[in-house]
Structure formats: C-alpha cells, structure tokens
Amino acid sequence: MTLARTWSVGLAGVHGAMVEVEVDMAAGVPQVVLVGLPDAVVRQSVDRVRAAVVNAGQKFPQRRITIGLSPASMPKQGSGFDLALAAAVLAASGAVPQSAVDRLVLLGELGLDGSVRAIRGVLPAVIAAARAGHAQVVVPAANADEAALVGSIEVLAVGTLVDLVEHLAGRNRLCAHTRGPLPAPPPSPDLGDVVGQAAGRRAVEVAAAGGHHLFMTGPPGAGKTMLAERLPGLLPPLDEQAALEVTAIHSVAGTLPSGAPLVTRPTFEAPHHSATMAALIGGGSGQIRPGALCRAHRGVLFLDEAPEFPRAVLDTLRQPLERGQVTIHRAAGSATFPCRAQLVLAANPCPCASAAGDTACTCSALDRRRYRSRLSGPLLDRIDLRVDLPPVTRAAWLDGPGTPESTSSVAARVRAARAVAEERLAGTGLMVNSQIPGRLLRERWAVPRASLRLAERALERGALSVRGFDRVLRVAWTLADLAGRPVPGSDEVAEALGMRLQRVAA
C-alpha cells in the first residue's frame, strides 16, 4: 500500500479553506474512488487527470486508487483541484518524491493534453494558503500575477503538467514568480462632459463625499446615466485592504480584467433591468457566485430604468444595503459576500418617457402612480438623496457659461470632505458619514436643536420616518464637511431635507 498527500484550497464565498488531498494505492481491480463530497466537476477531474498524466509522458497507475478530500464534510466544487490530484497520484506511484508535494499547495485545471488552465478564485485561495503557514503555492501561469499579490508566500507558475513533473523530480526547478508593475487604470469619464444639471452635479458630489445612495428622475437625455457613470471617478482610490477585497470578489466571479491583477479603482456595475435575483444579489445552481451588488463592493451599483426591474428583485437589496454584506444559503451550504456599495437608481417620470417633458406626456395619473409604485417605500426610505433632473435647455446646451467643472476639481473637494469625516470618525471603525449608526449620530455628534427645526416638523407630520430623520442628519454632516464647517447648521439641514423629500414629478 502506497500513500501520498498534498494540498489544495476550496472556496466558500470569498474565503478559502485548506483541503488535504490524499491518494492511497492498493492491489485490486483497477479503479479510482473519489470521496469527500465532490461535486460533478470534481468527480470528472479523475478523467481529466488520467488523460493529462498519460499525455504528459507519465504512466497512470493501474491499481485500486482511493482519493480523499479532507475535511470530508466540506463540499468541494470546481476544477481547481485537478493539479493537486495529479501531483498526489504521481507521488503515490513513485514518479515524483512524496516529500516534494507533502506541504505544497497546488491550484489549477488540467486540459486533456496536460496544459494547466486558469481558474477562478486564485487570490482568496492563495491568501488562505499563506494564513495556513504554507511556504509555496503552484498556480497556472495565467493566474500568476494575481497570486503574487500575496507577498508572504512563494508563487510557482506552471504552464503544463510536464513542467510540474520536472520541477517535483528536481530536474528543472521552477523559479519564484515576480509580479511586474501594475498597469495604470483606464481613465474615468469626466464630469465636465455633463452640461447643465447643477442639482444633479451637486447630488453626485454629495453622494461621493458621504457614501450616500442616490435616486435620480428625469426625462430621457437629461443626463442621469452620464452622472451615474462619473460617480466612481469622484471616489478616492481603494486602499490596499479594500483593493484585495474587491479583487477577491471579481476573482471568484471570473470578472477580473485581463492584464490587471489588482482592482485599484472603485468599480461600476450596471446590470440590465432583466437581471434575475441571482444575477443581482448572487447565487447559482452549483458554486455560489457573487452578483452585481457584491461585484460593486466599494464602488457603485447603477440600476437604470429602475421601475422596470421586478419589484421582488429590487426589494432583495434592502437588507444587504443596511448590513453591507449578503449571505446566500443553499442546501449544500452557504456563502457570505461583502457588498458595501453605493446604490444609484435612475427612472423616467412616467411610462411614456417623453423627452419633451410633461407637455408631451400621454400617461394618465393612474399610469404614473402605478409606474412610481414599482419602487417600494421601504427601498426608497433607504435612499439618502433624491433629485429631479429637468430637460437640458437650449441655453444650457449651446450658450452655457464656460466649461463645466471637471472630475478632478470635484474629486479634490470630495477628498477633503472625506478626510474631515475620517478624522472625526477615528477610532470608530467607520469611514464615511453614511455608515454612522443613528444612535451614535445623535449622542456623539448631536446637531443643535435650533438647526433641526425643519427636520423635526417633517418628522411630526409624517413626511420623514425615524430612519429618514437619521439619514437627513448624515447628509447634513456631509454638506458641512464639504463647506468646511465644524457642525451642520440650519442651511445644511434644510438642503439635506430638500434632497431627501424630493419626489418623482406627478
């Protein structure tokens, strides 16, 4: 009896879990038994490994082979275990020394010709290996730059199974992979392209400074999509921890841009209104994958034509927006993804969406009411900023005063406002005003009662909920940070209240 073991990594959400791969060979009828809760893809790896080993010039053992994946209680999914299975089989058969694979972590999918193909989720897998104390990890060459983002572990890049066998046998050792310089991110759309729409530009600036959710209404061509697309450019670059979080999510989702192993700028996700609940939040019939909301973590989720989304799909956003994470449960297990994104909704005033505005609208009052009711009250109650965008006038388009303010100018004010907020929030674990819990907001950073009269009246007459009152305070603090004031005054509270209570035109 011959036994060999090596290591790989399984994924649960964006977190990796070490998997020990054991191969036992014994006399008997030639067959391969795979145990340890493998899914269909992992079970099929036996055939891929057999063909890859033969085509790599090695002999696949004709014995009774038992392959165990531990811990046995954890479901194993995906094709990333192929390389580890092949290495363990070769070590058990004596083709390579068992000591060479005993502490080695191997990730990668095998082609039938022995080529090693890229897989999803390499970054969280390598992070898990480093935390478990492993010194080396073998990854596909196409994933090498991504794996090298983890500096505490040596990364070996392989293109074929032959290369791995030569390395393990000591005949042609692989060199540690060194990641090259990160490419510069592509330029973001410039806010200077947006003509007019002073209220919309102000709302986008406030949203960027405080991390607030935004709802824009207006006729086609008013600039709703243009403003939303320029919001990520106003946000500061991601710090190292945030960049690794976002990169891990996109690695698991398979949406990591080619040639850019690290996401350093806030992302922008704009799913179509036909998106399903699984596409928006996350899920899937096999391996649970993050949806658009999770891929927009630390960035912007833009839902254009928001009333056209199914109401049930939109309402699933409510709890994740409050908690900043979503847990997806399936019969085989669950996965948790971070999703602290800024939500931007855009809608037309009515179903006919006439570019000429109300004068050309053919919708009845009942049609407008039904159209607006597709966005539930509880969802809208979580939106801090609401702005109506009028049609762009001829004067603004052709005779406007000078060049509109650029993204760089507005982003400088956003950075300054965020720096003030971070200094005020130091020690709380919070970064922006939109994250401050209501109780802490009222007790630690209380706004003078004289400045709150308008908001208190709105609360008394039912125009504001208690949640809405707290959100007005958060926006008021953001306005004060942008204005360089130590505490919000009545003007900031009034402007925040006006942005909160603005309705879709009737």
The answer to whether residue 471 is domain-embedded is no
SS3 state at 155: strand
* pLDDT confidence of residue 506: 33
- Residues 482-495 have a mean pLDDT of 94
Burial of 44 (0-12, 13-18, 19+ CB in 10 A): middle
- Residues 22-42 have a mean pLDDT of 93
pLDDT at 252 over 80: yes
- Residues 424-441 have a mean pLDDT of 90
Residues 95 and 152 in one domain: yes
* pLDDT confidence of residue 340: 94
- Residues 423-448 have a mean pLDDT of 89
Residues 163 and 199 in one domain: no
**Using CA atoms, how far apart are residues 270 and 348, in angstroms rounded to an integer?**
17
Q: In CATH, what number is assigned to the domain containing residue 262?
A: 3.40.50.300
- Kindly state the helix (H) or strand (E) to which residue 26 belongs, with its residue range: strand 15-26
Question: How many Cα neighbours within 13 Å face the side chain of 143?
Answer: 30
Strand 214-217 relative to strand 385-388, pairing: parallel
Query: For residue 71, is the peptide bond before it cis, meaning its omega torsion is within 30 degrees of 0?
Result: yes
**Using CA atoms, how far apart are residues 32 and 22, in angstroms rounded to an integer?**
13
**Which structural domain range is residue 48 located in?**
2-168
The pLDDT confidence band at residue 394, using thresholds 50, 70 and 90, is low
**Using CA atoms, how far apart are residues 25 and 29, in angstroms rounded to an integer?**
11
Check residues 419 and 464 and name the one with the higher pLDDT.
Answer: 419
The pLDDT confidence band at residue 356, using thresholds 50, 70 and 90, is low
- Residues 137-148 have a mean pLDDT of 95
Residues 214 and 150 in one domain: no
Phi then psi dihedrals of residue 26, to 5 deg: -145, 165
* pLDDT confidence of residue 368: 83
**Using CA atoms, how far apart are residues 310 and 273, in angstroms rounded to an integer?**
8
The answer to whether residue 456 is domain-embedded is no
**Using CA atoms, how far apart are residues 10 and 48, in angstroms rounded to an integer?**
19
Tens-digit pLDDT profile for residues 69-99: 999 999 999 999 999 999 999 999 999 999 9
Phi then psi dihedrals of residue 351, to 5 deg: -65, -35
- Residues 194-212 have a mean pLDDT of 92
Strand 116-117 relative to strand 109-110, pairing: antiparallel
Which of 372-393 are b and which e, b meaning 16 or more Cβ less than 10 Å from the residue's Cβ? beebeeebbebbbbbbbbebbe
Is the dihedral angle over the CA atoms 225, 230, 236, 237 positive or is it negative?
positive
- Residues 375-391 have a mean pLDDT of 90
The pLDDT confidence band at residue 46, using thresholds 50, 70 and 90, is very high
pLDDT at 489 over 60: yes
Residues 32 and 75 in one domain: yes
In the structure encoding, which two tokens stand for residue 393, read together?
């006038």
Residues 163 and 57 in one domain: yes
* pLDDT confidence of residue 349: 85
- Residues 233-238 have a mean pLDDT of 95
* pLDDT confidence of residue 16: 93
Number of structural domains in the chain: 2
Question: Which ranges of 66-223 would DSSP assign to H, the alpha helix?
Answer: 82-93, 122-131, 144-147, 161-168, 198-210
The answer to whether residue 480 is domain-embedded is no
Residues 216 and 334 in one domain: yes
Residues 367 and 275 in one domain: yes
Q: In CATH, what number is assigned to the domain containing residue 38?
A: 3.30.230.10
**Using CA atoms, how far apart are residues 187 and 411, in angstroms rounded to an integer?**
14
The pLDDT confidence band at residue 402, using thresholds 50, 70 and 90, is low
The answer to whether residue 439 is domain-embedded is no
Contact between residue 204 and residue 334 where contact means Cβ atoms under 8 Å apart: no
* pLDDT confidence of residue 358: 61
- Kindly state the helix (H) or strand (E) to which residue 395 belongs, with its residue range: helix 394-398
Tens-digit pLDDT profile for residues 164-183: 999 999 999 999 998 878 77
Instruction: Tell me the pTM.
Output: 0.90
Domain stops at, among 101, 135, 168: 168
Residues 338 and 198 in one domain: yes
Q: Taking Cα atoms as reference points, which of 197, 13, 171 lies closest to residue 97?
A: 171
The answer to whether residue 459 is domain-embedded is no
Residues 233 and 366 in one domain: yes
Number of H helices, E strands in the chain: 20, 18
pLDDT at 367 over 80: yes
- Residues 121-131 have a mean pLDDT of 96
**Using CA atoms, how far apart are residues 488 and 473, in angstroms rounded to an integer?**
8
Q: What percent of the chain has pLDDT over 90?
A: 70
Check residues 193 and 477 and name the one with the higher pLDDT.
Answer: 477
Q: What is the CA radius of gyration of the chain?
A: 27
For the chain, the average pLDDT equals 90
Residues 265 and 143 in one domain: no
pLDDT at 355 over 80: no
The answer to whether residue 442 is domain-embedded is no
- Residues 347-354 have a mean pLDDT of 81
Residues 11 and 102 in one domain: yes
**Using CA atoms, how far apart are residues 18 and 15, in angstroms rounded to an integer?**
10
Strand 268-269 relative to strand 300-303, pairing: parallel
The answer to whether residue 260 is domain-embedded is yes
The answer to whether residue 120 is domain-embedded is yes
The pLDDT confidence band at residue 354, using thresholds 50, 70 and 90, is low
Reduced DSSP (H G I as helix, E B as strand, rest coil) percent helix, strand, coil of the chain, to 5:
40, 20, 40
pLDDT at 140 over 90: yes
Residues 286 and 381 in one domain: yes
Domain stops at, among 168, 183, 217: 168
Contact between residue 174 and residue 68 where contact means Cβ atoms under 8 Å apart: no
Contact between residue 279 and residue 271 where contact means Cβ atoms under 8 Å apart: yes
